[in-house]
Amino acid sequence: MANLVPPFTLETAIAKVRLAEDGWNSRDPRRVSLVYSEDTQWRNRAEIVTGREEVVAFLTRKWARELDYRLIKELWAFTGARIAVRFAYEWHDDSGNWFRSYGNENWEFNEQGLMFRRFACINDLPITSDDRRFFWPLGRRPDDHPGLSDFGL
């Protein structure tokens, strides 16, 4: 695999998106934070996050609230040092209420391939446990598991 730094090709953009999905599915805030620059800037819904330590704190809160989290990301577009993705993830709260969260992210990378800007817009849809579509053991999504387009999401 080519080096995953800008400018991105179709192959490297797809690989970058899959690595991001795999990291977030680990639900390990410290591990995930390492793909962001020290001074990364996020807007996630209405929250502003700046720097790796705030990323770790944000993700720790997120995964304490969003239980049995399973995420699928898909490349939407790319150019130069920017990648746009769409995603969906399923999770439940501590009362057993299930949700599918849909969204889009815009990413910008520095010369080292670390993300220094992330803008995320996300909507939550309440679902029943029977409406769930993302079934795999917690962790990395298996390569043969359907993606977003396969589900028509």
Domain 10-133: which CATH number of 3.10.450.50, 3.40.50.720, 2.130.10.10, 2.60.120.10: 3.10.450.50
- pLDDT digit string, tens, across residues 8-60: 999 999 999 999 999 999 999 999 999 999 999 999 999 999 999 999 999 99
Q: Is there a contact between 4 and 16 (Cβ–Cβ < 8 Å)?
A: yes
> Please, what is the average pLDDT of the chain?
96
- Using a pLDDT cut of 90, give the percent of the chain over it: 97
| pLDDT score for 2 | 52
Query: What is the model's pTM?
Result: 0.94
Question: Tokens for 142?
Answer: 């298996």
Domain boundaries, given as residue ranges, for the chain: 10-133
CA 62 to CA 69: how far, in whole Å?
10
| pLDDT score for 49 | 97
Angle (CA) 34 123 55, round 5° = 20
CA 34 to CA 110: how far, in whole Å?
13
